[in-house]
Amino acid sequence: MRRSWVRRLVAYGAAMLVAAGLVAVPTVAHAELQNPRQDFLRASQAGLFLHWGERTSPVHTDCTSWENDVTSGGWSADYWVNEAKKLHAQYIVLATFHSKLGYTRPWPSAIPGSCHSKRDFLGELIAATKKAGMKTILYMTNDPQWHNDGLPAGKDWLDSKAFSSYAGHNVDLTTTNGFGEFSYDNFMEVMDRYPDLGGFWIDNDSQYWLDHNLYEQIRAKRPNYTLSNNNEDTPIMDMVSNEQKTGMTPSYDYPQAVWTAAPRLIEADYKLPDSGSWWYTGTDSTVDTRLNVGRYIANSGSSIKSLMDETAMVNGKFPGHQLDYNNFLNSYLDQIWGSINGTEGGGYMYGGLQPGFWNDGSQGVTTISKTNPDLQFIHVLTKPSGSTVKLRDNGYRVTKVTNFRTGAAVSFTQGNGYLTLTGLSGWDPYDTVFQVDTNGRTGVYPASTYTMSATASASGHAASAAADGDYLTYWDNKKTLPVSLTYNLGSAKRVQYIGINQREDSVSYARSSTEQSARIKAYKVYVSANGTDWGNPVTSGTLPSHRGVQFIDLPAGNSRYVKLEVDSTWAASSDSTHYKLLRIDDSWIGSDYAGASTTPPAGNRYEAEAGTCQGTVDSNHAGYSGTGFCNTTNATGSYAEWTGVHADAAGNATLKFHYANGTTTNRPAALTVNGTAAGSVSFAPTTNWDTWADATMTVPVTSGANTIRLTSTDAGGTANLDYLELTQ
């Protein structure tokens, strides 16, 4: 009997078993958010991505000559495994059956249609990774469009005639449907032959696969295989890979461009070489050490897997610059591995200190131990201009901070919701790591002690999901703005701040006019004793378009009801997917800060660092109040704004701005009160930046909360602003 008819009868028989219910195949394929087959990926920090095939330089057009050169060059699966270990990778993705590499299959295939090897390179790699406690994942493509790329006229990488004879009917492999059939058969062959394969890494999707229940059959036949998809959030997939995103500031902060929300497995796929193709083209491109170390750490601090592409040559070896990087990273990661391995990203769905943009230009991520939430780590990827790092403590009571590499104690203070590390020096050029020991969280009302309501909610995503302590649920505002989310505490209780984890299913910066951030921009907060009479907002402002937990501080007081009104988000109308969309995984009301709260001194003082600073919050000059000061951008129009500035009664009030101006010229600023122009404030020189002075203005205010803004009318920006005091 001809092989094609055997294949068809086997496929037909399988279909009949599925139809009869004798094989457990779901009618609609889906991927559980968490499943034991995913354990090895969830425990991983990184993978090694290898594009390697016939078109690896020097290009081959004959499968036999390519295989001979691979073997005579000394190819070894163990070499790849050892290099992956240097990168601290736990899996290898092999992309040889790739559209731009000649559609080579690195295993002895019984299916004609494209080049395949006689030596079982795939089988050898699977055995080598299994021995090392790792996994091999096989890249599969749906794309026939490059079937004659790089070949003379009349030549083709795909052999439709041979496959048609095998299939028993005419199949054009250069069409999407025909190639879908060819690749479908290869999926089946691989599953039959390699039970120890880790899974498939799939470059997008194929309608042929969907029509023929490919994914359902993978789930039924190989339930231990994982499925990863490139750039598409296809429901069946265990993991979504985000390919080579760029344009972030800082450039290593890959998570800013990721649009998949945890707890889906998320992968960041990027090249280590600075330039060139995803495969070796004959060039030993340099590797940017700072960029790629930063990517690795930033991804780990966001629970994102780093899939690093290296360009193996025909014999499997890596070019010199990539070898140098592998050797460097091996020793570098060994020093800090305990702060990465066995952790999740801090400030997201697992709790932890706030990551992101900190003081004095510093930036980084935090990690939190999977087994001990009181053990956390601060990774400073961009050091501050001074010797201080300040970040939100998220309610954790800090007991000790040490330099993770040296074990040396680090001085710290904690108050007003912040952890401040002081006296820092000896920065590592790539990642300075601090270990933070805590004694649990404090000052956070349990989700069970209050109820939620909203002015709009999408079906299945009620307001209760915004504060149920469960990150697997979320509130959706049904694309309605303004929208209000109300917390009913049951009785009058002290309220100090709101903590918010927004759903991370959009980028956190504007990649384009049609890909923007679905995060809170302008907001107001009200409190009420009865849920009916709200009065003026107790605070208002703007949240940054940043990933990770965000906080809204409130004037401390007792209230039964707290209402968060969201007036706008960061997405523009040109982004039809995210415009007016808001989703909150979880939020909470804080009753007190974890550390000692600083009681404002007399005079109704409002620190500049607690307001909105269009610039940076710095602490590199002595003599300031609180935890820092606002250093506005050196430009006309830069501003500092205070919201919730309380006045006991309507009428005139004196505003006192504490400032420093180390230049030799005046730095005036326009003053507005509640959006109304109120004159100009002069900030005269103060000898140096460590000398502080006061500038005052008498202006009309309203009873209750007021918004005060200073906008620079000088190209140098405003003076450094320490605090504002209002007296009547």
3-state secondary structure of 157: coil
Instruction: Give the pLDDT of residue 201.
Output: 97
Contacts of 366 (CB under 8 A, 6+ apart): 301, 345, 346, 347, 352, 353, 354, 355, 376, 377, 378, 379, 391
pLDDT band at residue 703 using 50, 70 and 90 as cut-offs? confident
How many helices (H) and strands (E) the chain has is answered by: 11, 35
pLDDT band at residue 235 using 50, 70 and 90 as cut-offs? confident
pLDDT at 559 over 70: yes
pLDDT band at residue 626 using 50, 70 and 90 as cut-offs? confident
Q: Which residue has the higher pLDDT, 7 or 380?
A: 380
Report the topology of domain 343-440: Immunoglobulin-like (2.60.40)
Q: What is the Cα gyration radius of the chain?
A: 30
In 56-193, alpha helices (H): 63-72, 77-86, 121-131, 160-167, 176-193
CB atoms within 10 A of CB 279: 22
Pairing outcome for strands 199-203 and 46-51 = unpaired
Q: Which CATH class is domain 605-727?
A: mainly beta
Instruction: Tell me, rounded to whole angstroms, the distance of Cα 679 from its chain centroid.
Output: 43
SS (H, E, C) 259-327: CCCCCCEEEEEEECECCCCCCCCCCCCCECHHHHHHHHHHHHCCCCEEEEEECCCCCCCCCHHHHHHHH
Strands across the sheet containing 411-415: 389-392, 418-422, 411-415
pLDDT in tens, 64-100: 999 999 999 999 999 999 999 999 999 999 999 999 9
pLDDT at 123 over 70: yes
Section 131-145 average pLDDT: 97
Residue range(s) in the chain whose domain bears CATH number 2.60.40.1180: 343-440
pLDDT band at residue 203 using 50, 70 and 90 as cut-offs? very high
Of all residues in the chain, what percent carry a pLDDT higher than 90?
Answer: 85
Q: Which of 696, 521, 720 is nearest to 638 (CA)?
A: 720
Instruction: Give the pLDDT of residue 88.
Output: 98
pLDDT at 644 over 90: no
pLDDT band at residue 20 using 50, 70 and 90 as cut-offs? very low
Q: Which of 552, 545, 484 is nearest to 518 (CA)?
A: 545
Looking at residue 102, what DSSP letter applies? T
Report the topology of domain 447-590: Jelly Rolls (2.60.120)
Locate 103 and state its tokens. 């559609």
pLDDT mean across residues, the chain? 92
Classify each residue of 362-391 as buried b or exposed e, where b means 16 or more C-beta atoms within 10 Å of its C-beta.
bbbbbbbbeeebbbbbbbbbbbbebebbbb
pLDDT at 14 over 60: no
Q: Which CATH class is domain 43-337?
A: alpha beta
Residue range(s) in the chain whose domain bears CATH number 2.60.120.260: 447-590, 605-727
Q: Are 100 and 155 in contact (CB under 8 A)?
A: no
Q: 686 burial class (0-12, 13-18, 19+ CB within 10 angstroms)?
A: middle
User: Whole-angstrom Cα distance, residue 602 to residue 420?
Assistant: 24
CA dihedral 162, 166, 172, 176 (to 10 degrees): -120
This prediction's pTM: 0.82
Instruction: Give the pLDDT of residue 30.
Output: 60
Bridge partner residues of 305 (DSSP): 267
pLDDT in tens, 563-620: 999 999 999 999 999 999 999 999 999 999 997 543 444 457 888 988 889 888 888 8
pLDDT at 700 over 70: yes
pLDDT at 508 over 80: yes
CB atoms within 10 A of CB 698: 12
Residue range(s) in the chain whose domain bears CATH number 3.20.20.80: 43-337
Instruction: Give the pLDDT of residue 198.
Output: 98
Locate 210 and state its tokens. 């969907």
